[in-house]
């Protein structure tokens, strides 16, 4: 239905502003404008993935609206995390910080734009946020209670410019007490006998059906058949030992599971009584046991229930999919290395044009068995769904998720955990989201293992400019480690030519084509 001009509605407005933008433009105006556009393009992808829309941009400001305050906050957290990651990998003059303000209020519709008090309050809240931080109004804060595990600093009533009334504001923080009303729960009564609590029920089955790895369907030599369970952090050479301090269980930080599972853990497991344990699988299964006689019993029952759900969905799961204890009581004890993930955004706004429908018979790097499973299981699966591919043909399908973002995250986390290297999203829904090389021969998925001899600064360039892109792009590497990038080209050959020229101009010796998009390639 078309929106009536000058109509009013209640909506959530997210406002962003670039820190020290005036100084950036004074130093180099063209560079500042270009950098802001690049970062806002990244932010726009997150906004779209959380069912929001950008309704105005002007200079260093971006305004977006969301139907849900919770989704707006989740989006803001991911935007700030993406900005921090990009800044860590970028040289000094390519770093940029944002402030974000979020308000739930009444707005007036003017075409595609929104106006009025609800927008103005969000813009003023942004000014109260620290660099790289998020500030929300009390109307947003109240919607977060019981839904997100975040700290919040109450700033009290704030008098801000051009708003006649004081605004109650909160700064969100990663630590501290989560948004919650004052506790009033009575002390738990002492149990006289063992109480058996249902571990999961239908949601375990849903999670079990939502992720499947198909790398092991094709015959492999004994040395590579299947994947060994990824080692704990302590057992990985060069990895730091797990800190002795306890890590508090935060549902949003649990890998592999989706938003609905996180909500169940937040609302049922966290307030549950001791003794309790939570188990997870890299295929997205999870289960817990609570109110048991002791910790050992809780551990065993949680593991048994999780593995039972896993085997119902996958009769012969690989070792890496076996369930492991993630938390005892409300403390994290899981010691595996976190799944390696690719740079964000996981897919770019520009996709192959015209759209390419997923054809199981043309998927690169995979066996006939994987293509068969894709056709019989993934293609008819319900949305939201995604397919990720990693090194050595590791392939993960995730479906039945709450959103495209949840499906991509599940597929990438499970694939990365198994491959122990970042994977990439090959398909979202039934659409292929990457270009498939035809001139060059695909030999594997590109990882940083393939960049031996390349300098750290060039690795940063690849991570920030090459990997997150989705247009035709190519990477050439010289024998002396110099690189050349061919970016945002109209075709494969143009990308190859530009990459080779750039490598030679950078002083590369015997430059050779190394990659097309996310694929490691060789000459045909």
* pLDDT value at 389 more than 70: yes
Task: Specify the higher pLDDT residue, 78 or 363.
Answer: 363
3-class DSSP assignment, residue 326 = strand
pLDDT digits (tens, 9 = 90+) for 222-250: 222 233 333 333 333 333 333 344 578 88
pLDDT digits (tens, 9 = 90+) for 211-222: 444 332 222 222
Domains of the chain: 8-173 (3.30.70.1230), 202-221+245-332 (no CATH), 441-522 (no CATH)
Q: Determine the pLDDT at residue 24.
A: 87
* Whole-number Cα distances in Å, 487 to 41, 456, 461, 517: 16, 20, 12, 9
Looking at 293-440, list the stretches that DSSP marks H as alpha helix, in order from N- to C-terminal side: 295-313, 368-373, 404-419
Query: Using N-to-C axis directions, what is the helix angle for 295-313 and 202-210, rounded to 10°?
Result: 50
d(CA 280, CA 414): 12
d(CA 339, CA 211): 15
Q: Determine the pLDDT at residue 174.
A: 61
Averaged pLDDT score across all residues of the chain = 80
d(CA 503, CA 483): 5
Task: Specify the higher pLDDT residue, 241 or 254.
Answer: 254
- Average of pLDDT values for 272-284? 90
d(CA 25, CA 28): 5
Q: Is the peptide bond before 332 cis (omega within 30 degrees of 0)?
A: no
d(CA 122, CA 105): 9
Residues 6+ apart with CB under 8 A from 387: 358, 374, 378, 395, 396, 397, 398, 411, 425, 426, 427
d(CA 496, CA 493): 5
DSSP strand pairing (61-66 vs 52-58): antiparallel
3-class DSSP assignment, residue 349 = coil
Q: Looking up tokens 């079990």, which residue turns up? A: 208
pLDDT digits (tens, 9 = 90+) for 165-177: 888 999 987 644 4
Q: Which helix (H) or strand (E) holds 456?
A: helix 456-461
* Whole-number Cα distances in Å, 441 to 365, 468, 495: 11, 21, 15
Q: Looking up tokens 């990457």, which residue turns up? A: 434
- Average of pLDDT values for 139-148? 82
- Average of pLDDT values for 29-47? 85
**Threshold 0.75, pTM exceeds:** no
Residues 6+ apart with CB under 8 A from 522: 440, 441, 443, 513
CA angle 156, 161, 162 (to 5 degrees): 115
d(CA 443, CA 504): 24
Q: What is the DSSP string of 2-45?
A: PPPTT-EEEEEEEEEEETTHHHHHHH-HHHHHHHHHHHHHHHHH
Q: Determine the pLDDT at residue 211.
A: 46
Q: Determine the pLDDT at residue 243.
A: 39
Phi, psi dihedral angles at 500 (to 5 degrees): -65, -45
Q: Determine the pLDDT at residue 8.
A: 87
Lowest mean pLDDT among 111-120, 142-151, 278-287: 142-151
pLDDT digits (tens, 9 = 90+) for 327-382: 999 988 887 777 888 887 788 767 777 889 999 999 999 888 889 989 999 999 98
Which DSSP letter does residue 188 get? P
* pLDDT value at 400 more than 70: yes
- 3-state SS record for 151-171: EEEEEEEECCCCCCCCEEEEE
Residue of 172, 391, 418, 212 whose CA lies nearest to 312: 212
* pLDDT value at 86 more than 80: no
3-class DSSP assignment, residue 214 = coil
* pLDDT value at 480 more than 50: yes
Residue 149 pLDDT grade (very low, low, confident, very high; cuts 50, 70, 90)? low
Q: Strand ranges (DSSP E) for 225-285?
A: 247-248, 277-280
d(CA 386, CA 374): 11
């Amino acid at each position: 239905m078309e929106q009536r001009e000058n109509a009013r509605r209640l909506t959530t407005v997210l406002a962003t502003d670039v820190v020290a933008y005036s100084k950036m433009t004074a130093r180099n105006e063209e560079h500042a404008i270009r950098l802001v556009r690049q970062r806002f393009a990244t932010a726009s992808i997150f906004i779209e993935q959380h069912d929001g829309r950008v309704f105005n941009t002007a200079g260093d400001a971006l305004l977006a609206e969301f139907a849900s305050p919770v989704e707006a906050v989740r989006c803001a957290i991911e935007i700030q995390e993406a900005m921090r990651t990009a800044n860590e990998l970028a040289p000094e003059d390519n770093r940029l910080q944002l402030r974000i303000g979020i308000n739930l209020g009444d707005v007036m519709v003017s075409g595609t734009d929104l106006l009025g008090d609800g927008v103005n309050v969000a813009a003023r809240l942004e000014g109260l946020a620290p660099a790289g931080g998020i500030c929300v109004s009390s109307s947003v804060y109240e919607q977060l209670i019981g839904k997100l595990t975040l700290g919040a600093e109450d700033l009290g009533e704030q008098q801000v410019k051009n708003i006649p009334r004081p605004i109650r504001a909160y700064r969100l923080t990663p630590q501290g007490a989560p948004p919650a009303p004052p506790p009033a729960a009575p002390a738990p009564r002492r149990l006289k006998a063992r109480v058996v609590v249902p571990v999961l029920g239908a949601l375990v089955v849903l999670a079990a059906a939502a992720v499947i790895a198909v790398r092991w369907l094709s015959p492999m030599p004994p040395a590579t058949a299947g994947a060994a369970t990824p080692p704990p952090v302590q057992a990985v050479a060069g990895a730091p030992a797990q800190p002795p301090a306890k890590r508090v269980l935060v549902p949003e930080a649990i890998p592999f599971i989706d938003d609905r599972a996180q909500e169940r853990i937040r609302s049922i497991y966290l307030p549950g009584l001791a003794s309790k344990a939570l188990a997870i699988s890299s295929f997205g299964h999870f289960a817990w046991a609570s109110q048991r006689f002791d910790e050992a019993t809780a551990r065993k029952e949680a593991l048994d229930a999780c593995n039972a759900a896993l085997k119902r969905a996958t009769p012969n799961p690989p070792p890496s999919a076996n369930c492991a204890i993630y938390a005892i009581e409300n403390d994290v004890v899981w010691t595996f290395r976190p799944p390696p993930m690719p740079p964000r955004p996981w897919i770019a706004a520009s996709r192959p044009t015209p759209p390419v429908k997923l054809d199981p018979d043309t998927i690169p790097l995979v066996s006939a068995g994987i293509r068969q499973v894709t056709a019989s299981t993934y293609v008819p699966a319900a949305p939201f769904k995604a397919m990720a591919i990693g090194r050595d043909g590791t392939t993960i399908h995730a479906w039945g998720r709450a959103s495209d973002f949840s499906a991509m995250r599940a597929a990438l986390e499970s694939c990365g955990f198994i491959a122990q290297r970042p994977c990439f999203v090959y398909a979202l829904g039934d659409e292929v989201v990457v270009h498939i090389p035809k001139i060059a021969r695909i030999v594997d998925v590109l990882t940083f293992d393939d960049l031996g001899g390349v300098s750290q600064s060039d690795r940063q360039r690849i991570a920030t400019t090459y990997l997150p892109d989705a247009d035709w792009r190519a990477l050439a590497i010289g024998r002396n480690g110099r690189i050349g990038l061919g970016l945002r080209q109209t075709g494969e050959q143009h990308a190859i030519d530009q990459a080779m020229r750039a490598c030679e101009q950078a002083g590369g010796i015997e430059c050779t084509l190394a990659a097309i998009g996310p694929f490691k390639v060789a000459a045909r």
